[in-house]
Amino acid sequence: MPYATRDDIEATYGVQITQMVVDHGLNVIEDAEDTLNDLVSAGADQVDIDNAQDVLDLAIANKEPSAEATIAKNLEIGAAKIDGFVKARYPHTWTTPPTLLKTLNETIAVYWMALAADWRTDEMKERYKDALETLADIRDGKIDLTGGETEDETVEPVQTGLITMGKWNRG
């Protein structure tokens, strides 16, 4: 289950980040329109024109649902990557995950969305690399996540030699 939502991404990065996914859908529509126009201009047979019109209609109908699905899929991908690093150390389910996991989920999802939309920047790539390094530090016990609330409140913090933010010292 993702640690972040579309609203979280938009609050952190701005709506232009999720808009790029919508814009990518608009590019698909434009490509379908171009194909249809090319077929009409070339005098293609009606079956090919009708098929191109069907593709265009489907692209238009799926623009918003496709954008939502793309964002949700990338948040799921990010959460799976996070879980791959942290579940061995923290096998429980978070009722209130640490904010760091939400931030990492946003960063990973944005990177993959931008890559798919051919809109990735060097800063996004650097943030993604930093997120993976942070996940490795969590996995290796250099960063402690015991400050989040879990379904199993009896989970003891992993002893790492670091200061932990347990329930007793959170503000």
Mean model confidence pLDDT for the chain: 81
At 70-116, the pLDDT tens digits run: 889 999 999 999 999 999 899 988 888 899 999 999 999 999 988 87
What does pTM read for this prediction?
A: 0.66
Nearest C-alpha neighbor of 3 from the set 154, 147, 109: 109
Rounded to an integer, what distance in angstroms lies between the CA atom of residue 82 and that of residue 77?
A: 9
Q: Where are the domains of the chain?
A: 6-169
- Asked if residue 165 has pLDDT above 50, the reply is no
Per-residue confidence at 158, pLDDT binned at 50, 70, 90? Answer: very low
- Asked if residue 148 has pLDDT above 90, the reply is no
| Residue 62 Cα to chain centre, angstroms | 19
Backbone angles phi, psi at 94, to 5 degrees: -85, 130
